Amino acid sequence: MIEIKNVKKNFGKLEVLKDVSLKVDKGDVVVLLGPSGSGKTTLLRCINFLEQADEGMLTIDNQTVNLHTASSKEKLQIRKKTAFVFQNYGLFQNKTALQNITEGLITARKVSTKEAIKKAEEVLAWVGMLDKKDYYPSQLSGGQQQRIGIARAVALDPDVILFDEPTSALDPELIGEILTLIRNVAKKGITMIVVTHEMSFAQEVASKVVFMADGVVVESGTPKEIFYTPKEERTKKFLERILPQDEYYI
């Protein structure tokens, strides 16, 4: 359903992505793990053209584009198939919760205002935020803002939702509720690629775990394979550092 081939990205002399390839099947929840600076977020941003890759091909739902030379029309077509949930929420500060969701439906998807409002209210109710529909982001907590961000992504009915560390900006007590909400998104059968440091989420929810380091995919497999029988020494050392000893078996 999604195939990323030979993606490369440099920032000046810094090689951030070094020939990354990845396949994602429809309905998969793929979790990207790895140390800071491994290229996980940059890969997500290249998929959605928030960054322009130096090389690489992307196929989503039988549409293939060159990530470096894609036209404006091709970029728009890909963006219509994707939604992005940002670690810092990415909400329009001058728009209400409702307007943050209807904006993309009306401008990008050409949905009527009436239908957009109906859809926005449905997803706001689903994330438990309908009573805050007329609030601005500055009036909402971080957890509430992220709920709006997730509702906005789901409302677009995309082929894939890209989550960039969706809990990293939250207070610890809010992380659990947002992860529960993302689990509920997964239950809808929506294809997801998630960058996260939440190991329990990766173990419980992912259908595939991809470990990245130094701009390359080191190894990938099921959560059981990656967490319990990793093949690569780089993966083993990463897991030894971040997992409690009783959760890690080799």
Going by their DSSP bridges, the two strands 208-213 and 29-33 should be labelled as: parallel
Per-residue confidence in pLDDT tens, the chain, 250 aa: 899 999 999 999 999 999 999 999 999 999 999 999 999 999 999 999 999 999 999 999 889 999 999 999 999 999 999 999 999 999 999 999 999 999 999 998 899 999 999 999 999 999 999 999 999 999 999 999 999 999 999 999 999 999 999 999 898 888 999 999 999 999 999 999 999 989 989 999 999 999 999 999 999 999 999 999 999 999 999 999 887 655 554 4
Per residue in 172-202, pLDDT (tens digit) is 888 999 999 999 999 999 999 999 989 989 9
Task: Quote the CA–CA distance of 158 and 154 in Å, as a whole number.
Answer: 7
Would you state the structure tokens that stand for residue 138, as one six-digit string? Answer: 């500055």
d(CA 205, CA 21): 22
- Pinpoint the alpha helices (H) of the chain: 40-47, 72-81, 97-107, 113-126, 142-155, 172-187, 199-205, 223-228, 233-242
pLDDT at residue 150, rounded to an integer: 97
Which amino acid belongs to residue 34?
Answer: G
Domains of the chain are 2-91+160-247 (3.40.50.300)
Q: Residue 158's closest CA among 112, 107, 105, 202? A: 105
DSSP state letter for 53? -
Predicted confidence (pLDDT) per residue in 96-123, tens digit: 999 999 999 999 889 999 999 999 999 9
The verdict on pTM exceeding 0.85 is: yes
